[in-house]
Amino acid sequence: MAATFLERNFYTTSSCGVCGKASLDAARTVARWDVTPDDVTFSESVIAGLPERLRTAQKVFDRTGGLHAAGLFTPTGRALAVREDVGRHNAVDKLV
């Protein structure tokens, strides 16, 4: 039996989906699209190279030195899209 004083229930305007949930199971949602597992894999070398590929694609960071980035890459490591913002979550939101 979980102690109710340990539950976190509040509203927030920006979060990863866990904030405000009483448990990780409560964070699970139903997607509007098919989320069935697929056969896409990334090699270790591609994964290891993604930070540098992302950094290379950060054009605004080159000028300011102070932005976060999020990127969408193919399994071969080709960047499909890169977005930057002062906040990590904002960069991800822009990418999505």
What region does 55 belong to: left with phi over 0, alpha with psi -120 to 50, or beta?
alpha
Going by C-beta distance under 8 Å and a sequence separation of 6 or more, which residues neighbour residue 72? Answer: 79, 80, 81, 82, 95
The answer to whether residue 16 is catalytic is: yes
d(CA 71, CA 96) in angstroms, rounded, equals 10
- The CA distance from 80 to 83, in Å, is 10
Active-site choice (1, 6, 16, 30): 16
Instruction: Give the H or E element holding residue 85.
Output: strand 79-85
Residues involved in catalysis: 16
